[in-house]
Amino acid sequence: MATDRTYEFGERRAHARGRGERLARGLAWFSVGLGLAELTAPGGVARTIGVSRDRRVLGAMRVLGARELAAGIGLFARPRSAAFAWMRLTGDLIDLALLGTAFGLRRRGRERVLGAIGAVAGVSVLDLLAGKRLSGARGGALEAGRAQHFRESITIGRPVEEVYRFWRDFQNLPRFMAHLDTVEILDERRSHWVARGPADRSIEWQAELVEDVPNERIAWRSIAGAGTELEHAGSVRFVAAPGGRGTEVHVEMRYDAPFGRVGVALAKLFGRAPAQEVKGDLKRLKQVLETGEVIRSDASIHSGMHPARPPEQAPAPSDRVRPNGHEGSTTREENR
């Protein structure tokens, strides 16, 4: 099993980023070295790459040196940001253009300019590689850069077996997941989910159980097609909390936010911060398992802000679940 800090979804990208960072550090040293040389000894650099040493060229050389130095310092300061790798690449293209002009103007010593062009082109390839790695690896639908990724966790004072069992019965999920209306079990692996989007519009998807390790881990993902309007994948890990404090529940989710009708609805369904919604769901799960039901206040039974004073009419009773058993209706939790 992966260590606590590495997770299946992020692993591949994290690995690519790690290699990108090492490359970026090498390029940073190169940038600083070249930049200092161009700034302090522009004549020497000009001689090495075979360009003329008149005043304007030496001035331009110092400007290029300052740019190199800035990119180098940037790479050192923000080793995880692709921005400075892209800055270096842009610089490479400028250098290539300048060297190309020099090549066209020179009659003698062209081989030195050609050598410089080759060197810059080589470095450009490395810059491109670093930029791409730092920007994150690209791949299929959910692995694409547009997929959103988040993790949330909570500690629940109940045994791992009980928390796992409660979650594994997917029909329990609407009891604490505020946006979820129903979960219909289709067969051993597949289930049909209906959630409420903005303006009470319902959003549906079919999910497939990808992994089910009792008392350890449940993972699922949406099935493309099959009426799926929400492409996502998720996993939940159950870990015994230290000191007999019950169970740590770690949820990890990725969801795709494509353009168009569904994308917009989805963004609203999850609100501006989907991680926040899941965090709220986990708190409600804790309430249900520890106290027997979702706690309500005079304000919290309303969607949106409402003064803390009793409602005109009593809302439907809160869905009750006993801490040690799971009897009770599976109607959705009205409480928001």
Partner 1 sequence: MRATCWLGKREVRVETVPDPKILNARDAIVRVTSTAICGSDLHLYDGIIPTMESGDILGHEFMGEVVEVGPEVKNLAVGDRVVVPFPIACGNCASCHKGLFSLCENSNPNAWMAEKLLGHSPAGLFGYSHMLGGFAGGQAEYVRVPFADVGPIKVPNTLTDDQVLLLSDIFPTGYMGAEMCGIEPGDVIAVFGAGPVGQLAIASARLLGAERVIAIDRFDYRLRSARERAGASETINYEEEDVQEALLELTGGRGPDACIDAVGGESHGHFPIYAYDRVKQALMLETDRPIALRQAIRACGNGGTVSVIGVYGGFIDKFPMGAVMNRGLTIRSGQCNVQRYLKPLLERIERGEIDPSFVISHHMPLESAPRGYEMFLHKEDDCLKVVLQTGGVPSSLAS
- Residues in touch with partner 1 (CB under 8 A): 155, 157, 245-246, 276, 279-280, 283, 286-287, 290-301, 305-312, 314-315, 317-318, 320, 323, 335
Minimum CB–partner distance for residue 185 and partner 1 (Å): 28
Closer by beta carbon to partner 1, 24 or else 294: 294
Closer by beta carbon to partner 1, 3 or else 324: 324
Residues 34 and 65 sit within 8 Å (Cβ to Cβ): yes
Closer by beta carbon to partner 1, 50 or else 274: 274
Closer by beta carbon to partner 1, 189 or else 245: 245
- DSSP state for residue 293 in the 8-state scheme: S
Residues 283 and 154 sit within 8 Å (Cβ to Cβ): yes
> SS3 of 252, please?
strand
Q: Torsion-angle region of residue 304: left (phi > 0), alpha (psi -120 to 50) or beta?
A: left
Closer by beta carbon to partner 1, 126 or else 289: 289
Minimum CB–partner distance for residue 276 and partner 1 (Å): 6
Closer by beta carbon to partner 1, 109 or else 292: 292
CA angle 102, 115, 105 (to 5 degrees): 15
How far CA 25 is from CA of 66, 71, 82, 126, in Å, comes to 18, 11, 12, 12
Minimum CB–partner distance for residue 293 and partner 1 (Å): 6
Closer by beta carbon to partner 1, 30 or else 176: 176
Separation CA 87–CA 124 (nearest Å) = 11
Minimum CB–partner distance for residue 201 and partner 1 (Å): 24
How far CA 270 is from CA of 40, 47, 255, 263, 319, in Å, comes to 55, 61, 10, 11, 23
Minimum CB–partner distance for residue 297 and partner 1 (Å): 4
Minimum CB–partner distance for residue 320 and partner 1 (Å): 6
Minimum CB–partner distance for residue 217 and partner 1 (Å): 24
Q: What is the 3-state secondary structure (H, E, C) of 187-243?
A: CCCEEEEEEECHHHCEEEEEEEEEEEECCCEEEEEECCCCCCCCCEEEEEEEEECHH
With 0-12 CB in 10 A as exposed, 13-18 as middle and 19+ as buried, what is 77? exposed
